[in-house]
Amino acid sequence: MIIKNGSVVFSDRVEKTDLRVSDGKIAEIGSGLKADKGEEVIDASGLHVFPGFIDMHVHLREPGFEYKEDIESGSKAAVKGGFTQVCCMPNTSPVADNKVVISYIRHRGEEVGLCKIRPIGAITKGEAGTQLADIGEMKKAGAVAVSDDGKAVKSSRLMRLAMEYASGFGIRCLCHCEDSELSDGGVVNEGYNSTLAGLKGIPRAAEDVSIARELCLAESLGVPVHICHVSTYSGVRLIRDAKRAGVKVTAETCPHYFAATDDLITGFDTNTKVNPPIREEKDRLAIVEGLKDGTIDCIVTDHAPHHKNDKNVEYNLAAFGISGLETSFGFAVTYLYKTGVLTLPELAAKMSGNPASILSLEGGAIERGGVADLTIADLDEEWTVDPEKFLSKGKNTPFSGRRLCGAVRYTIVSGQVKYPF
């Protein structure tokens, strides 16, 4: 396969050139490459070629909650969104806290054969927060990290042991930072809009206290830690200060934190309910600045699909979560690239290079001899978010009708075109 005339996004520049793909690898990079007889040619004129996007935080719901999403429907949504690899959280049923479930998820992903499915194991057995899961066995079975996402590990002693143990196996803890005693059943950001709506708020401190603990533990042990879905201005400040002090911390955020504020909740649309909650403008601006200055390393979706019945209830009873695999790139282009916050190489780093580095995955860069995981996109194509067109089973997005720029044209995984189907 030859990809011709595209603007290729390298780690340090954007250059109009051609790529030859052979045996799942990038075999040649250069202008004017000639196709061999019968060789497939993709004309990427007017398009940009990125390293395949990697989402290191998704919920694919299988096993156990296939009525919300399964690995096949989630994989279809992923490749439509330009993702060549997705890392799925362990809050399934049964919980992915052992080698059997990890192996099932990995093999099921291979069977579907669209994007690469990378399972994340639980930190504690059953995500109950009382006993460490067998991290070593899960790593051998294919787990790329460990997390109790959806809840924090309450015991500081157990979290310390988990960080130490995971580091010994060359993987890191991905930390959902929430002090449940402070969040205390809240459903939205605590502030003016929660008061106006009469909904119980979740204070920033619920996230910040937990972030501070993980940073202290990582510093004391000298091991790396990753902070999930950062949503507060004060959390960004804590992580920035820790990085300056030499703490081995990386962090992620989601489109709904850099492209929206809690003004959305006043309409009582349960699709706005997400954890951590969408916060205020000063938080949104801090997230954008954190992405710009490198405090926040990755853009993830925290793709959390739900059946319509899980959202079609009173706000207090609705499930937390937003379906995001098919809109993430459009939000990143519209709110970060088009506004001058990030250059294209910086955007590629947030959505591909940094996740690959943090989780020790293949891909993340376009280079000769590297894996041919590629995303080809039109940065100028405008489109309207329509959840009824989602390939995910989860249609739960608060952004229906939002106009975005940036559309994925091709998703190539190990040299094979997986999207369009």
Q: List pLDDT tens digits, range 384-410.
A: 999 999 999 999 999 999 999 999 999
Which amino acid is residue 208, in one-letter code?
D
Cα–Cα distance for residue pair 224/234, rounded to 1 Å: 21
Residue 134: per-residue pLDDT:
97
Task: Give the tens place of pLDDT for each residue, 62-86.
Answer: 999 999 999 999 999 999 999 999 9
Confidence of residue 378 (pLDDT cuts 50, 70, 90): very high
Residue 306: per-residue pLDDT:
98
Sketch out the chain's domains with CATH numbers: 52-364+379-405 (3.20.20.140)
Listed residue (122, 144, 119, 149) closest to 133, CA to CA? 122
Q: Provide CB contacts within 8 A for 233, sequence distance 6+.
A: 204, 282, 283, 285, 286, 287
Query: How many helices and strands, by DSSP H and E, does the chain display?
Result: 14, 17
Tokens of 226: 């990753």
- Mean pLDDT of the 93-117 span: 98
Whether 302 is catalytic is yes
Residue 279: per-residue pLDDT:
98
Residue 376: per-residue pLDDT:
98
Chain centroid, CA 245 distance in Å: 26
- Placement of tokens 């703490």 in the chain: 247
Residue 282: per-residue pLDDT:
98
Confidence of residue 324 (pLDDT cuts 50, 70, 90): very high
Task: Give the tens place of pLDDT for each residue, 295-305.
Answer: 999 999 999 99
Cα–Cα distance for residue pair 154/177, rounded to 1 Å: 10
Q: Kind and range of the H or E element at 142? A: none
Give, in order, the Cα–Cα distances in Å from 255 to each of 109, 166, 237, 354, 399: 25, 29, 19, 17, 11
Residue 18: per-residue pLDDT:
98
Residue 127: per-residue pLDDT:
97
Residue 39: per-residue pLDDT:
94
- Mean pLDDT of the 8-35 span: 97
Cα–Cα distance for residue pair 58/304, rounded to 1 Å: 7
Residue 276: per-residue pLDDT:
98
- Placement of tokens 């955007």 in the chain: 347
The packing angle between helices 233-244 and 281-293, to 10°, is 30
Opening angle at CA 153, ends 91 and 107, nearest 5: 30
Task: Give the tens place of pLDDT for each residue, 240-296.
Answer: 999 999 999 999 999 999 999 999 999 999 999 999 999 999 999 999 999 999 999
Give, in order, the Cα–Cα distances in Å from 24 to each of 81, 113, 345, 370, 417: 21, 14, 23, 9, 11
Candidates 55, 302, 310, 373; catalytic one? 302
Instruction: Cite the beta strand spans of 160-282 per DSSP E.
Output: 174-175, 188-189, 201-202, 225-227, 249-253
- Mean pLDDT of the 214-232 span: 98
Residue 291: per-residue pLDDT:
98
% of the chain surpassing 70 pLDDT: 100
Listed residue (223, 282, 290, 219) closest to 254, CA to CA? 290
Confidence of residue 138 (pLDDT cuts 50, 70, 90): very high
Strands 174-175 and 48-51: unpaired
pTM, 2 dp: 0.98
Listed residue (126, 131, 125, 162) closest to 145, CA to CA? 162
Name the DSSP letter for residue 319: P
- Mean pLDDT of the 43-72 span: 98
Confidence of residue 308 (pLDDT cuts 50, 70, 90): very high
CB 34: neighbour CB atoms within 10 A? Answer: 10
Listed residue (244, 345, 355) closest to 290, CA to CA? 244
Tokens of 68: 């919300």
Cα–Cα distance for residue pair 278/40, rounded to 1 Å: 45
The packing angle between helices 99-112 and 71-80, to 10°, is 50
